[in-house]
C-alpha cells in the first residue's frame, strides 16, 4: 500500500466514532470497532502475503508483570529485546524492581566490545576484579567501584574486562535487535522500557489465515518475522534463501525447543558457524539424518557440531512461538538476497544500486543479455567485496520450461536438485547427446545417489513434442533427462520404454534447441511453478 493511500485510510479511521487500539508488529494503530484482521493489515501497511498465517495475541486481564522475563528497550536508534536469566541474582532483582528508572538515561560510552548507558545510582556491591563476558549479555557495573556511578552495560563480543560488576556478573542477554547495538552513537539514549507479555504467559492466542476475523481492543498482531543473517555464514544464508524461496517458512515440525522447515531435506549445507543456539537462532542441520533442514530455536540450546548457525530472528519471535505444523510464516531477511540469475544486466544494475555494489560484466555484455552466473555466488560475500562478476548469455541460449508439480512431485524433487533450480532461478542441463529428434541431458549434480526416482506420471499412449522426461529406477540409465522435438508413440524422451520414463514438464520454446550442439550447457528458467498438467 502506498503511503498516501495509507494516510487516507488512517484519516478515515480516525473520523469514525467507536475506536479500538491494536498493536501490529509492535506499532499501535486505531481502528473502528468491528474492524477485521484484514483491515488492520491494510491500514498499517504491514508486510503480508496471501496464504500466510498471522498471529493474534489476545488481551488478558491476567497479565502480570512480575513473571515477565522479556523486556523491549527502545532507543533513539532502534529497539532490542532482552531476556532475563532464569537464575535469581541481586542484579536481576534490581532490574525487575527498578527498570522504569532507567528510561531517558544516555549512552555514556561505546567500545568494540560493549556499550554503556548511565550513570545512575544503585545499591549494588561491585567487585574490583576482571570478569569474562559472552556476547550480548547485560550487567550492571559501578565505574570506579562507586554505586553512585552505576551503568547498564551490554556486551557486543566475547571479552574480559574489569567493569566493577557484582559477583554474579550478567543477569540477562539480548535476544532480538542485536544489530541496533552496532548503530548506537554517543548522542543516543533509552526512550522506553516495556515488559513483553508473551502468548505463553496469557495462554490466549490465535494463529490464522482468515483475515475476516474481528479484532478487539488491546490485541496484538504479528504478520512476519525478520531474520538477521550472520556474516559468518554466507553459504548457509543461501541455503536459507532457498528454503524460503516463496517468501515463507513452512512449519513441518514443532518441538519444545524449535520449529523446522524440511524443504531442502537431503541437501548438505556447508558447516560454517559454531555458536550457541539461543532462542531465536536460525540454524541448519549439516550432516546425518535430517541434513538440509532449517530450524528456528524457541529455547536455548548449546552449540553443536551438527548444526551451523546462519542467523537470528530480530523481530517476530511471537509468531514463531505460536507456530503450528502446516502453517506458513512470512519471512523477511536482513540483508535480502542478491540474486542476479535470469535478470538482464540493466535489471541487475538497478538492483545493485542501493547497495553501492559494482557490476562487472562478462560473457555476452549487452544490456539485454541474461545473467546465468555470478561471482561471488553468495549475498554476504558480494556485499563484503562491494563488487560482483556476472556472466551473460544471449536469450537464444536460455529455454523456458513448465514443470508439472502436481503430476510428478517426487521426480521434480530430484530434477530441481540435480540441475540447480532448488537454489537458483536458472538451472543447467549439459547436452551430452543428439540423435534424430532426441536431445539427451545429464545433470552435473548426481542427485540420483540420494533422491529416489520411482515410476511416476509415465506416458500411456504418446509423448508429445517438447515434453521433458526423466529415466526412472526401472531402467539402468536412471536420472537421464531427455526431450523430443516430435511426437512419439513408442519411446519416451530419453529413448526408454514408457514404463521407464517419468514426464515432468515441457519446454515452452522447443525451437531454441536447434541453437545447441553436444557438449553445450543449456540454461533453463522455470515458468508457472506449481501449475497442473493433464495428459
Q: What is the pTM of this model?
A: 0.77
Q: Let me know: does 407 contact 532? Beta carbons within 8 Å.
A: yes
Domain 67-196, CATH number (from 3.20.20.105, 3.90.1150.10, 2.40.100.10, 2.60.34.10): 2.40.100.10
Using a 10 angstrom Cβ sphere, with 0-12 exposed, 13-18 middle and 19 or more buried, the burial of residue 104 is: exposed
Longest dimension (CA), the chain: 91
Cα–Cα dist 196/87, whole Å: 19
Going across the sheet that includes 387-393, the strands are 358-363, 387-393, 370-375
Terminal-to-terminal C-alpha distance of the chain: 41
Domain 225-334, CATH number (from 2.40.100.10, 1.20.1050.10, 2.60.120.620, 3.30.390.30): 2.40.100.10
Cα–Cα dist 47/330, whole Å: 8
Provide CATH code, domain 397-527.
2.40.100.10
Q: Is the four-CA dihedral 294, 241, 384, 278 of positive or negative sign?
A: negative
Q: What are phi and psi of 20, to 5 degrees?
A: -125, 155
Cα–Cα dist 149/43, whole Å: 46
* 3-class state of residue 374 by DSSP: strand
Pairing mode, strands 248-250 and 328-334: antiparallel
Q: What is the dihedral of CA 482, 485, 489, 491, to 10 degrees?
A: -30
Class of the CATH domain delimited by 3-63+203-220? alpha beta
Q: DSSP class of residue 189?
A: B
* 10-residue mean pLDDT series, the chain (535 residues): 43 59 93 95 96 86 59 91 89 92 93 94 84 92 88 93 88 88 92 76 79 94 96 96 96 94 91 91 94 93 92 92 95 96 96 96 96 96 97 95 94 91 93 94 81 91 95 92 94 94 95 93 81 35
Neighbours of 7 (CB within 10 A): 11
CATH 3.10.20 residue window(s) in the chain: 3-63+203-220
- What is the chain's Cα-based Rg? 28
Nearest in space to 54 (alpha carbons), one of 251, 217, 224: 224
Per-residue pLDDT at 198: 57
Per-residue pLDDT at 246: 92
Q: Which three cell numbers stand for residue 534?
A: 493433464
DSSP string, 235-302: HHHHHHHHHTTTSEEE--EE-SSEEEE-TTTT--PPP-----B-TTEEEEE-SSTTTT-EEEESS-B-
CATH 2.40.100.10 residue window(s) in the chain: 67-196, 225-334, 397-527
Q: What is the dihedral of CA 362, 365, 367, 373, to 10 degrees?
A: -30
Nearest in space to 269 (alpha carbons), one of 243, 246, 301, 297: 243
Prior bond to 335 cis, omega within 30? yes
Nearest in space to 435 (alpha carbons), one of 474, 473, 486, 476: 486
The residues, any chain, with a CB within 8 Å of residue 88's CB and separated by 6 or more, are none
Q: Which three cell numbers stand for residue 289?
A: 539424518
Per-residue pLDDT at 58: 80
Q: DSSP class of residue 350?
A: H
Per-residue pLDDT at 177: 84
Q: Which three cell numbers stand for residue 40?
A: 488492520
Amino acid at each position: 500500500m502506498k503511503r498516501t493511500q495509507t494516510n487516507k485510510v488512517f484519516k478515515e479511521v480516525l473520523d469514525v466514532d467507536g475506536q479500538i487500539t491494536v498493536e501490529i508488529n509492535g506499532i499501535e494503530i486505531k481502528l473502528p470497532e468491528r474492524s477485521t484482521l484484514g483491515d488492520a493489515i491494510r491500514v498499517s501497511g504491514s508486510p503480508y502475503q496471501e496464504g500466510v498465517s498471522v498471529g493474534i495475541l489476545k488481551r488478558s486481564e491476567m497479565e502480570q508483570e512480575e513473571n515477565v522475563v522479556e523486556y523491549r528497550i527502545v532507543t533513539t536508534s532502534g529497539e532490542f529485546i532482552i531476556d532475563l536469566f532464569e537464575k535469581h541474582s541481586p542484579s536481576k532483582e534490581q532490574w525487575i524492581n527498578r527498570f522504569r528508572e532507567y528510561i531517558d538515561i544516555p549512552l555514556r560510552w561505546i567500545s568494540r566490545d560493549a556499550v554503556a548507558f548511565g550513570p545512575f545510582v544503585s545499591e549494588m556491591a561491585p567487585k574490583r576484579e576482571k570478569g569474562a563476558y559472552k556476547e550480548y549479555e547485560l550487567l550492571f557495573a559501578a565505574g570506579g567501584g562507586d554505586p553512585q556511578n552505576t551503568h547498564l552495560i551490554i556486551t557486543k563480543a566475547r571479552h574480559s574486562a574489569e567493569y566493577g560488576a557484582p559477583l554474579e556478573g550478567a543477569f540477562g542477554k539480548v535476544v532480538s535487535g542485536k544489530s541496533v547495538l552496532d548503530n548506537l552513537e554517543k548522542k543516543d539514549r533509552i526512550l522506553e522500557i516495556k515488559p513483553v507479555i508473551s502468548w505463553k504467559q496469557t495462554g490466549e492466542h490465535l494463529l490464522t489465515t482468515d483475515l475476516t476475523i474481528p479484532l478487539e481492543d488491546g490485541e496484538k498482531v504479528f504478520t512476519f518475522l525478520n531474520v538477521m543473517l550472520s556474516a559468518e555464514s554466507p553459504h548457509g544464508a543461501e541455503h536459507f534463501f532457498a528454503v524460503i524461496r516463496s517468501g515463507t517458512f513452512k512449519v513441518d515440525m514443532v518441538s519444545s525447543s524449535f520449529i523446522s522447515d524440511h524443504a531442502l531435506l537431503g541437501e548438505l549445507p556447508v558447516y560454517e558457524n559454531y555458536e550457541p543456539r539461543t532462542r531465536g537462532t536460525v540454524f541448519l542441520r549439516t550432516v546425518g539424518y535430517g541434513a538440509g533442514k532449517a530450524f528456528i530455536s524457541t529455547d536455548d540450546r548449546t552449540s553443536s557440531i551438527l548444526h551451523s548457525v546462519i542467523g537470528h530472528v530480530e523481530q517476530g519471535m511471537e509468531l514463531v512461538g505460536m507456530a503450528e505444523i502446516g502453517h506458513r510464516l512470512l519471512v523477511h531477511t536482513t540483508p535480502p538476497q542478491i540474486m542476479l540469475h535470469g535478470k538482464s544486466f540493466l535489471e541487475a544494475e538497478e538492483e545493485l544500486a542501493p547497495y553501492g555494489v559494482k557490476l562487472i560484466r562478462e560473457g555476452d555484455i549487452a544490456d539485454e543479455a541474461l545473467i546465468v552466473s555470478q561471482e561471488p555466488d553468495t549475498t554476504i560475500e558480494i556485499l563484503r567485496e562491494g563488487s560482483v562478476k556476472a556472466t551473460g548469455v544471449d536469450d537464444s541460449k536460455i529455454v523456458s520450461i513448465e514443470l508439472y508439480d502436481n503430476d510428478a512431485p517426487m521426480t521434480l524433487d530430484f530434477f530441481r536438485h540435480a540441475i540447480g533450480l532448488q537454489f537458483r532461478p536458472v538451472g543447467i542441463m549439459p547436452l551430452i547427446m543428439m540423435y534424430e529428434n532426441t536431445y539427451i541431458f545429464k545433470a552435473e549434480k548426481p542427485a540420483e545417489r540420494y533422491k529416489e526416482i520411482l515410476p511416476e506420471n509415465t506416458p500411456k499412449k504418446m509423448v508429445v513434442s517438447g515434453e521433458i522426461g526423466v529415466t526412472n529406477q526401472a531402467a539402468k540409465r536412471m536420472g537421464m533427462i531427455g526431450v523430443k522435438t516430435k511426437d512419439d508413440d513408442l519411446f519416451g524422451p530419453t529413448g526408454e520404454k514408457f514404463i521407464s520414463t517419468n514426464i515432468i514438464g515441457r519446454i515452452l520454446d522447443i525451437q531454441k534447441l536447434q541453437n545447441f550442439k553436444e557438449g553445450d550447457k543449456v540454461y533453463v528458467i522455470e515458468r508457472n511453478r506449481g501449475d497442473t498438467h493433464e495428459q
